[in-house]
Structure 1
Amino acid sequence: MPTVRTDREVIENRLVTVRRTVDCLGALGAVSVQRLADQPSIGLVIERDLWLIRDMASAIDVTIASMRGYPRSAGVYDATVRAGVIDDALAARLEPADGPHHVLLQLCLDTEPGEVEDVVSSAVSAFREYARLATEWNSLDQSCAVSTPS
């Protein structure tokens, strides 16, 4: 019989994936144009990792929305912001106006490989902060928390 996990356990499992993947990306070191030329697959691996992190964060947002009774929304981090997990400024760093980090990376790999390092660095910094705050929020005793949908 399958084990039923609580929403908080589901969030923690996804956060484990986020933290591990962010740590792996951070440990890669410099992603220079020369490194991309010498190791062409590294760009594809990074793109996949950035997609995975965003996918996990999006799934966490859906879980938070469900926990709090928030209506579904188009924004990837709307429920996460509304629940006070992160603020609007971090949400904007997680999802830049030009598109998600994995899409920006794809475009840079094709046209501006010199920009890859900045995209990766920005994503790692933002998602590391996200993982810290989301882990902190998820570990709080929320038994007294009041859900106030607006």
Structure 2
Amino acid sequence: MKNLKITALLAVMAFSPFYANVFPVEGTPIVKVVAEAAKWKSESIDVGNIPQGKPKLIRFEFTNTSKKPIIIENVAPSCGCTTADYSKKAILPGKKGFVEASFNAANAGPFIKTVNVTTSDSKTPKTLSFKGTVTAA
């Protein structure tokens, strides 16, 4: 029985290279990579040290690299300490748009915050982040 298992295993291994070339792999894209229509200037910003009690405005800019207009459909900050504003009109091909986050620097210490942006070109939100340290007043 042991010899039968070893023989079967050797037979499978012997014929494996034969079947390896049955399906063409080279030059056949299995997964297409979709380029983003919004090319962000920066997806993460370090604001450094900011004084406690003074709101900080962080601006994320992007360029529409597609051939059709982009509309920002939703902007969702990660917490109540951050509010957001954004380009309300359609951003035409080759033009720039923005998302601004206003961070309420109430508590001293380091922070990392995010803003999720959904556009008409992709229903998967793009996560933008900013970090820094609030220094005590």
Structure 1 length normalisation: TM-score? 0.26
If you compute each CA radius of gyration, which structure gives the higher value, 1 or 2? 2
**Bigger share in helix:** 1
Which has the higher relative contact order, 1 or 2, with Cα contacts under 8 A spaced 6 or more apart? 1
